[in-house]
A = this chain, B = another copy of it.
């Protein structure tokens, strides 16, 4: 089994960003994810679908995990890496635990709703039957910018300061 490198995560984050951008076009919160196999090849990916599908679990991470499990015919996604543009919420951290992935890679930190930022260290809880690695902040600038732009547009306050001329 090849060991994935930081460059592999950066490349995959670029792909996850494409799913996030597609979500934004569908008026969803622009979060995207993709799942890599042990060789770093993308199995599948998705963007948020919460509003369009009326699904409380319609987060990019969960859609990607479910899609991959269906494709592989197995809910155990061992040796897989989930790459997502925003730090996962508690529900998605739970889903990552349930699907037994090897590594989680995320982009922007979410201080208000991110499981890790709130102190829910699900991935290293030894009382649970599976643990996994976490790498945060990959392409942090690009991933957080996409979200900030989306919410600024939603609020109608596109007030970037012009550089002084």
Point out residues on A near B: beta carbons under 8 Å. 50-51, 53-59, 62, 65-66, 69-70, 72-77, 89-95, 97-100, 112-113, 118, 120, 122, 125, 127-129
Contact = CB atoms under 8 A, between A and B. Distances in A.
Copies in the complex: 2
A23 to B, nearest CB: 15
A134 to B, nearest CB: 15
Contact of A98 (B66, B75, B91): B91
A112 B93 CA distance: 17
B118 A57 contact: no
A69 B55 contact: yes
Nearest to A129: B113
B54 A65 contact: no
A77 B50 CA distance: 13
Nearest to A77: B56
Given A90-B122, A91-B91, A94-B94, A56 B99 contact: yes
